[in-house]
Chain A
Amino acid sequence: DAKTTQPTSMDCAEGRAANLPCNHSTISGNEYVYWYRQIHSQGPQYIIHGLKNNETNEMASLIITEDRKSSTLILPHATLRDTAVYYCIVNNQGGKLIFGQGTELSVKP
């Protein structure tokens, strides 16, 4: 599985959009980009995933560059409850997830 690189931490003002970047320059053609988050003292929670096209669901949007070497997770209107560690994971849908260090997002009032 390809390795990902994310900033260690980010701050975001409540109500503003949170844009979390991820680099995955060694991604291969059959690998998907997954995003999970872990709120303190809970198990990780799936957010969204994509292969080539941009994706949107009720939680977030995922923007994948045309060369697929990087992506951005967008939380359109961040709330205090979105404070968590966000993990970008590249996976070929085999189930096994290899977690990096993730980005610790702090949403501030």
Chain B
Amino acid sequence: SAVISQKPSRDICQRGTSLTIQCQVDSQVTMMFWYRQQPGQSLTLIATANQGSEATYESGFVIDKFPISRPNLTFSTLTVSNMSPEDSSIYLCSAYGTSWNEQFFGPGTRLTVL
């Protein structure tokens, strides 16, 4: 199993600024993912964070808007760049190990953009 923490847990930001969200896993994992959950909606996969290489983005998400880093097997960051009110969402990271049956999720970061 894995315990995942995220920082910050919530933030209120001004339009045009950027916020970096950190995700820390308590064990080495094969894969890490970033999801967005807009108000009242389901989760949408943003990208797969690849260790040592560029993230793999899903359709509709681009690196310039959501740059992702994964410097090692336990840590990843997601930056939401040049924010607008439409970016107000909960951002969640998750982790998966090839020997696991399940994917573990962090508690999420609640972002409000004014």
Contacts and interface: CB of A to CB of B under 8 A. Distances in A.
Given A95-B96, A95-B103, A99-B42, A43 B108 contact: yes
A44 B105 contact: yes
Contacts of A85: 42
A2 to B, nearest CB: 15
B107 A44 contact: no
B56 to A, nearest CB: 9
B43 interface: yes
Interface in B69-94: 92, 94
A100 interface: yes
A38 B107 CA distance: 11
Main DSSP-derived SS at the B contact region: strand
B24 interface: no
A98 B31 CA distance: 15
B60 to A, nearest CB: 13
A43 B107 contact: yes
Interface in A68-109: 85, 87, 95-102
Main DSSP-derived SS at the A contact region: loop
A65 interface: no
A90 to B, nearest CB: 14
A42 B104 CA distance: 12
Interface of B: 4, 30-31, 33, 35, 42-45, 48, 92, 94, 96, 101-108
Interface of A: 34, 38, 41-46, 49, 85, 87, 95-102
A-B pairs with lowest CB-CB distance, top 7: A43-B105, A46-B102, A95-B96, A95-B31, A99-B43, A99-B42, A44-B105
